[in-house]
């Protein structure tokens, strides 16, 4: 092995990136809240559900899949498996046939059955009512747990998916590299009572306006605070 030159280690440390909020993130967040409170005062998920069980299933199915596709799948699924008890007794073949048109059906089949069994065995057949316990369920990660807990129970947690990560980074709210880093940076800056709404606002904005490939900046009410617009679209 070659020797390490003097100063190499300290130089590497000094160049290490610090992931943090943008210098005016707090003001931008207030502007986002004020803007979308007027445009869409009661945002919510586009997944169709009637109870906690149905939202958990739909959320699990929505990973790497559109809400539209999930909403096409779930009516027949819930007719066949109306609760966790029915799903816990399902065969993989039965579940797979009902969800095979969504992404990663094999993995999701496994997760759905394991999730139902766990809820029956460890939670008395009731979907957990907090993000911490929701994350113990197979197939439910931190983002999904936060979305479910905030939507169903009003828990003040922020869910960060690819839409939220992309849009908030374009706006200049942070320089994070992952959704998890984004959640840690932004959560303390967003008033608890707005965290759930903020998640839905940004998801909808990313889905219909600030799209990944072709953002529709001409329809965006936030261009004056958007770093992407200033540098990429406005030639600044």
Of 153, 175, 202, the one marking the end of a domain is 153
pLDDT of residue 69: 97
pLDDT of residue 17: 57
Query: Global pTM?
Result: 0.86
Q: Within 13 Å of residue 20, how many CA atoms lie on the same side as its CB?
A: 6
Mind listing the pLDDT tens digit for each residue in 180-224?
Answer: 999 999 999 999 999 999 999 999 999 999 999 999 999 999 999
| Residue 32 forms part of a structural domain | yes
| Residue 15 forms part of a structural domain | no
| Residue 226 forms part of a structural domain | yes
Question: In the block, which residue shows the tokens 């529709």?
Answer: 216
Mind listing the pLDDT tens digit for each residue in 95-108?
Answer: 999 999 999 999 99
Same domain, residue pair 95 and 182: no
pLDDT of residue 23: 80
One-character DSSP codes across 135-191: TTSTT--HHHHHHHHHHHH--------HHHHHHHHHHTSB--SSHHHHHHHHGGGS-
- Residues with Cβ within 8 Å of 93's Cβ and at least 6 positions away in sequence, in order, are none
Q: Give the residue numbers marked as catalytic.
A: 143, 161
Same domain, residue pair 89 and 109: yes
Is residue 7 very low, low, confident or very high in pLDDT (cuts 50, 70, 90)?
very low
Is residue 13 very low, low, confident or very high in pLDDT (cuts 50, 70, 90)?
very low
Instruction: State how far the alpha carbon of 82 is from the alpha carbons of 71, 86, 90, 225, in Å.
Output: 15, 7, 11, 46
Print the domain residue range for 162.
22-43+157-233
Is residue 155 very low, low, confident or very high in pLDDT (cuts 50, 70, 90)?
very high
Dihedral class, residue 99 (left if φ above 0, else alpha if ψ from -120 to 50, else beta): alpha
Task: Please name every residue paired with 174 in a beta bridge, in sequence order, or none if there are none.
Answer: 21
Number of domains within the chain = 2
CATH number for position 132: 1.10.340.30
Whether the CB-CB separation of 142 and 134 falls below 8 Å is answered with no
One-character DSSP codes across 94-151: HHHHHHTTSSSHHHHHHHHHHHHHHHHHHSTTS--SSHHHHTTSTT--HHHHHHHHHH
At residue 205, the 3 state secondary structure works out as helix
Torsion over CA of 138, 139, 142 and 147, rounded to 10 degrees? Answer: -110
| Residue 1 forms part of a structural domain | no
């Amino acid at each position: 092995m070659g020797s390490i030159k003097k100063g190499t280690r300290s130089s590497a440390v000094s160049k290490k990136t610090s992931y943090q909020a943008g210098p005016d993130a707090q003001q931008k967040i207030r502007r986002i809240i004020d803007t979308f409170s007027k445009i869409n005062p009661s945002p919510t998920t586009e997944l169709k559900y009637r109870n906690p069980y149905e939202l958990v299933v739909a959320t699990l199915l929505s990973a790497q899949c559109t809400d539209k596709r999930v909403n096409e799948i779930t009516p027949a699924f819930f007719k066949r498996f109306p609760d966790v008890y029915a799903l816990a007794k399902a065969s993989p073949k039965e579940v797979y046939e009902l969800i095979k048109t969504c992404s990663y059906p094999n993995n999701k089949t496994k997760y759905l059955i394991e999730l139902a069994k766990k809820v029956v065995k460890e939670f008395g057949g009731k979907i957990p009512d907090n993000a911490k316990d929701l994350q113990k369920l197979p197939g439910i990660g931190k983002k999904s747990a936060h979305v479910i807990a905030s939507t169903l129970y009003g828990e003040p947690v922020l869910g960060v998916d690819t839409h939220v990560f992309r849009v908030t980074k374009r706006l200049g709210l942070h320089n994070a590299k992952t959704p998890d880093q984004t959640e840690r940076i932004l959560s303390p800056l967003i008033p608890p009572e707005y965290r759930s709404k903020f998640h839905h606002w940004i998801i909808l904005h990313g889905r219909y306006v600030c799209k990944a490939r072709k953002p529709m900046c001409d329809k965006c009410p936030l261009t004056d605070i958007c770093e992407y617009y200033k540098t990429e679209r406005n030639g600044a």
